[in-house]
């Protein structure tokens, strides 16, 4: 068989890479990769799942009487892995933003230490999520089935870890951890979202929860629920404003059924129930029960003026 024209294509690909790098003002200096690695984060999260739930998500031959040895070793390994990735993120970010000179390793160490200190609290929160799923789903056979099987619980393990990274300003690591769960479960929770205890996502595929969302305790949501932004304001130069509070506030004990879409910085009051497929862009009073019909009528008025502009 005749050969393929490898040389030509290699040249052309180099040309388009260089165009990209010039436009992006990237260094053309020799040097290695400087980005955190998805595979490394996947390993770290997998290890941390064993650290948090050793007898259920740890190694199969573990025994209760030796848990602490495993937990200690796995934790040590995960934290040092995270430390390396945190340094990569900090270096990468500095290259772009040329921040202060503070030592990268010191900053990464501080962040990882703070992250580690949060793990017991994360386990407690996840226990409350497991119980919420067990009590909220008539098909759930046991708390252990919930931990082993429910995608909503898997998504929350990732989220509660990712959220700590986000708070420690390791946003790229946080995002990678979140997207690993998104890929496995179809549940897309931005690591910035603040979520109280006892949170239960049933079925989960298609759920989207935005960056500035705030969710209280004992909230329950079903598949394809969106807690999103209504619009993205731009600043004077025409760039999107970043960091504005633009997603809903969901108070304690709210239930949101499948396919409901809540957009913008609205508040769903404590104990409100949002029906399936409801489309909501305004506040809901505590205890209110909103179904499609009602929301549509109100919604039409708000939106008619803006249509066919």
Site for a copy of itself in 183-242 (CB under 8 A): 183-186, 188, 190, 192, 203-206, 208, 210-211, 223-224, 226, 228-229, 232, 240-242
For 130, the 3-state DSSP assignment is: helix
- In angstroms, the CA 307 to CA 300 distance is 10
By beta-carbon proximity to a copy of itself, the closer residue of 211 and 253 is 211
Instruction: Identify which of residues 66 and 102 has a Cβ nearer to a copy of itself in the complex.
Output: 66
Nearer to a copy of itself, 101 or 231 (CB): 231
CA-closest candidate to residue 115, choices 70, 153, 160: 160
Residues between 3 and 22 that touch a copy of itself (CB under 8 A): 3-7, 9-10, 12-17, 19-20
Q: Footprint of a copy of itself on residues 29-68 (CB under 8 A)?
A: 29-33, 35-38, 51-52, 54-56, 59-68
User: Encoding tokens for residue 251?
Assistant: 């108070």
The pair of three-digit structure tokens given for residue 231, joined into one six-digit string: 């619009």
What are the residues facing 29 on neighbouring strands?
A: none
Sequence length of the chain is: 309
Nearest to a copy of itself of 216, 275 (CB atom) = 275
The number of residues that bind a copy of itself (CB under 8 A) is 139
Q: Give the chain's largest Cα–Cα span.
A: 73
Q: Which is nearer to a copy of itself, 143 or 196 (CB)?
A: 143
CA-CA distance, 34 to 82, in Å (whole number)? 15
**Using CB under 8 A, which residues numbered 259 to 288 contact a copy of itself?**
259, 261, 263, 275-277, 279, 287-288
Q: Give the footprint of a copy of itself on residues 135-174 (CB under 8 A).
A: 135, 137-139, 141-145, 148-151, 171-172
Site string for a copy of itself, 92-111 (x = CB under 8 A): x---x--------x---x--
Rounded Cα–Cα distance for residues 257 and 71 (Å): 38
Tell me the three state secondary structure of residue 53. coil
Asked if 309 touches a copy of itself (CB under 8 A), the answer is yes
Instruction: Please write down the long-range contacts of 141-146, taking CB distance under 8 Å and 24 or more positions apart.
Output: 144/56
């Amino acid at each position: 068989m005749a050969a393929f024209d490898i040389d030509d294509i290699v040249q052309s690909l180099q040309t388009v890479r260089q165009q990209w790098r010039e436009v992006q003002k990237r260094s053309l200096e020799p040097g290695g990769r400087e980005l955190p690695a998805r595979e490394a984060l996947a390993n770290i999260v997998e290890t941390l799942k064993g650290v948090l739930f050793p007898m259920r998500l740890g190694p199969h031959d573990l025994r209760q009487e030796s848990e602490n040895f495993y937990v200690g070793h796995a934790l040590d390994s995960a934290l040092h892995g995270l430390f390396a990735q945190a340094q990569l993120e900090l270096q990468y970010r500095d290259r772009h933003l040329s921040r202060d000179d503070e030592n990268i390793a010191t900053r990464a160490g501080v962040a990882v230490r703070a992250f580690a200190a949060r793990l017991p609290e994360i386990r407690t929160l996840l226990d409350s999520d497991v119980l919420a799923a067990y009590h909220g789903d008539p098909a759930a056979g046991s708390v252990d089935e919930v931990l082993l099987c429910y995608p909503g619980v898997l998504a929350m393990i990732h989220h509660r870890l990712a959220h700590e990274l986000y708070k420690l300003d390791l946003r790229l690591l946080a995002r990678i951890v979140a997207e690993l769960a998104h890929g496995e479960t179809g549940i897309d929770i931005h690591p910035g979202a603040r979520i109280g205890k006892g949170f239960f996502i049933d079925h989960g595929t298609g759920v989207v929860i935005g960056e500035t969302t705030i969710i209280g305790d004992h909230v329950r949501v079903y598949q394809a629920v969106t807690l999103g932004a209504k619009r993205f304001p731009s600043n004077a130069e025409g760039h999107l404003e970043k960091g504005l509070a633009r997603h809903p506030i969901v108070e304690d004990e709210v239930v949101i059924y499948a396919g409901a879409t809540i957009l913008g910085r609205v508040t769903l009051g404590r104990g409100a129930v949002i029906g399936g497929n409801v489309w909501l862009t305004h506040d809901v009073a505590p205890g209110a029960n909103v179904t499609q019909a009602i929301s549509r009528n109100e919604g039409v008025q708000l939106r008619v003026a803006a249509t066919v502009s």
